[in-house]
Amino acid sequence: MQNLTRRRAVLVAPGSDEHKALKALRSTADEVVLDLEDAVAAARKADARDLVRRLVQESDGSRAVSVRINALSTPWAEDDLALCVSLGSALTSVVLPKTETAHDLAHADQALAGTDIGVQALVETPVGVQNIGDITRAVTRLESVVIGYADLGAALGRSRSALPEHWLAIQDAVLVAARAAGIQAVDGPFLGIADDDAFRHSAAWTSALGFDGKWVIHPAQVESAASAFTPTDTAVEDARRVIDALAAAEAAGNGAAQLDGQMLDEAVAVAARRVLAQVGAE
């Protein structure tokens, strides 16, 4: 797995609301996504771009800052992409909404040519889910795939009160495709704004499945989301011991490593590296 931005808790804020955006940027979220799409009325798209430009340029670099642009099918997408290119290294990634095909990502990749800006694919249509394997392998710039429950649920006719368990087939399809491509799988936002039992269950569910993190739409949810996707101290210590045992075996020229009477294989090593990556450790 490539070295990617930690995305345990990703806070989404409207790019047209300076107060909410600044509050997000001052939060403890691993990443802030400034939204130019759903959160911005058509008449305010240009003003929102100007505000996002200033906020990203003035950000202190203490956390990742990304921008969700408008869908490629809209008249605003090209101006959004031009804005992102102009921000250069100050911007972590572009979130591409309603990603449905590898061609969508190729278009964004070409627009971002010459920059180190990453891309995240927001998959929120049945076609996008159907093409998830092609999407995750489309471009090397792709860092993560995110499930967009609101639009996807509406398209599927799924109840807004559906439990996380009702999404298992789609969650697994996205997770498997992401892991096969070596990128992150990020759970989309819970549709409520409270840090309540329902939200915590949602975060715990996808964390247990193996997702890397979750989008949140209210600062009150950041701490719970980050906690859900942060390994325990015991898990981190066990992971360090696995990596140390493997390193010691390699240094000694041994073909196999053991720890606590158990043989260590590559699957155990992969799991240990993932745990350490989740806490920002080597």
Is 151 annotated to bind ligand?
yes
Going by pLDDT thresholds of 50, 70 and 90, the confidence category of residue 86 is: very high
Give which of 111, 113, 133 is closest to 123, Cα–Cα: 133
Contacts of residue 3, Cβ cutoff 8 Å, sequence gap at least 6: 277
pLDDT tens-place string over residues 13-45: 999 999 999 999 999 999 999 999 999 999 999
Spatial separation of the C-alpha atoms in residues 191 and 216, rounded to whole Å: 9
Detail the DSSP E strand segments found in 78-139: 93-96, 118-123
Is 124 annotated to bind ligand?
yes
Is 197 annotated to bind ligand?
no
Instruction: Reduce the DSSP state of residue 174 to 3 states and report it.
Output: helix
Q: What is the pTM of this model?
A: 0.89
Pairing of strands 257-259, 262-264: antiparallel
pLDDT tens-place string over residues 133-173: 999 999 999 999 999 999 999 999 999 889 999 999 999 99
